Amino acid sequence: MKLQMHTHDLIIFGTKGDLAQRKLFPALYSLEKKNKLVDNTRIIGVSRSNTNTKEYIQIIYNALKKFLKEKINKKIWEKFKKRFIFCKMNINCLQDFKKLKIILKKKKHILLNYFAVSSNLFIKICKGLSNINCNSKTSKIIIEKPIGDSLKSFNFINKSIKKYFSEKQIFRIDHYLGKEALLNLITLKFFNPFFNNNFNKKTIDHIQITLSESLGIEKRWSYFDQTGQIIDMVQNHMLQIISIFAMNKPKSLKKKHICSEKIKILKSLYIKNNDIKNNISLGQYKSGKINNNIVPSYVNEENSKKNSLTETFAAIKLYINTKKWKNVPFYIRTGKRLLKKCSKIIIFLKKSSENLLKNNKKIFNNRIIINLQSPFNIKIKFFNKIPQLNSKFKLTSSEMLFNYKKITKNNFFPEEYEKLLLESMKGNQFLFVNYKEIKYSWKWIDSIIKIYKKNPLLLEYYSSGSWGPKSSEKLIKKDKRKWDNN
């Protein structure tokens, strides 16, 4: 069944925040450029700051100048800016929601509420929307990760939200699920026997997943310090990647069947012998040099606390207790202020048991590298014989390369938020996270956070512009392996 697009009132709570300016406004502009926003759709920004609509439009323009990956087209901007309305209100004040009601009364559009705020405000917003009768069956809410800071808080928030909105109305966003390169894993595995027959414990030696950033906190210190890298990145993005990569073939490509297989993986995650302390590396960045610029340490960022023990780096060695993946280690790492931005999965195949070339020390693991960010490609590294005028076998490392953009028209490759916003307007939940996935993610993450709180000395400091703390290298080196930093 083809989903219909309707005229919406998109209400952005937290409209002056980093997420809205860095991601939402550029994505909405791109949708405008592609004529994907239905005529008369309005975008209503909510904040308690002393701003009017004219000033708000200028804020959006400045955000586009800074974060849009292209020059602003004047014709598109003139059309785009007419959609915006600013509503000055305090989310914590129930009576203030009447100001929003006055704006909404003028049109009878479908409401799409984007909660670009901390999850501790979700319930208050839901209550406020209900108070002005803006939670009808056609209304929808998009809620950002992380939802809560533990399984207990997630369950409370989720249960409370469901008093006002049904499961069909709730869109739990994880922007990694909007990445074409991640979604292509399903195609790669289940439509290609070469990959599907080799993605298992018989063929694979180990898996490495790296999600690194060269950026620091970017003026989000108060938010991040209450969250940390484990919750900010591992609990959601990293576990989504693992569950999609490792899941068994679903009964169909329907959301419920894919979700069912992902949950089986999330329920099967474990750390060997439950020895969390020796299978985790946690770090916090010190000052250092990135792109020839000296950057401050985490505790010297704007509005920081000098005694903070919040981790900005996490590496974990884990296993999946399923028939297909038993005893195959997954090494995952994510951090801020690292040497470069990187989102990749590297699959190391087992070495050949027979070395036909005696004393050849150059034998390495064949590997498949999946880049989840630009340049969005898949590489297969393998051995090749160097042509020469004798019968000797001299080997060299070679690679086959597949570039996603080469198969698209005009290098078309939609941004994650662009796609997710459009799908939410259509009412399609396929690319959004089911509450059970979040539940089992929290259940596993809680055990790691609990250990860290009891052992704060696990935190190690690393220089900005490096690949993280030394304990991260030790984590993988003790297994006679090393991180692929190419």
Known binding positions for NADP(+): 48, 145
Strands 313-320 and 330-335: antiparallel
Phi first, then psi: give them for residue 288, nearest 5 degrees.
175, -170
11, with CB counted inside 10 A (0-12, 13-18, 19+), is buried
Classify residue 397 by its DSSP letter.
E
Establish whether 237 is a catalytic residue.
yes
State both tokens at 106.
């003028």
Q: Which one of 6, 109, 206, 237 is the catalytic residue?
A: 237
Binding-site positions: 48, 145, 175, 179, 213, 232, 336, 341
CB-based contacts of 480, cutoff 8 Å, min separation 6 = none
Structure tokens, 1 = 């069944």
Mark out the alpha helices in 20-177 (DSSP H runs).
25-33, 53-67, 74-81, 97-105, 122-131, 151-161
Instruction: Please choose, from the candidates 419, 416, 337, 327, the residue with its C-alpha nearest in 3D space to the C-alpha of residue 22.
Output: 416
DSSP H helical ranges for 177-218: 180-190, 193-196
Q: List beta partners, residue 461.
A: 284
Q: Could you tell me if 376 and 403 are in contact, meaning their C-beta atoms sit under 8 angstroms apart?
A: yes
Q: For residue 247, is it left (φ>0), alpha (ψ between -120 and 50) or beta?
A: beta
Closest Cα to residue 406, out of 426, 378, 443?
Answer: 378
Q: What is the dihedral of CA 166, 22, 25, 66, to 10 degrees?
A: 180
Rounded CA-CA distance 114/144 in Å is 8
Q: Residue 307: left (phi > 0), alpha (psi -120 to 50), or beta?
A: alpha
What tokens were used for 171? 């869109």
Cβ–Cβ under 8 Å, residues 34 and 129: no
- Residues forming the annotated binding site for substrate? 175, 179, 213, 232, 336, 341
Q: Which residue do the tokens 């003026």 mark?
A: 219
Distance in angstroms (rounded) separating the CA atoms of residues 164 and 303: 36
Active site residues: 237
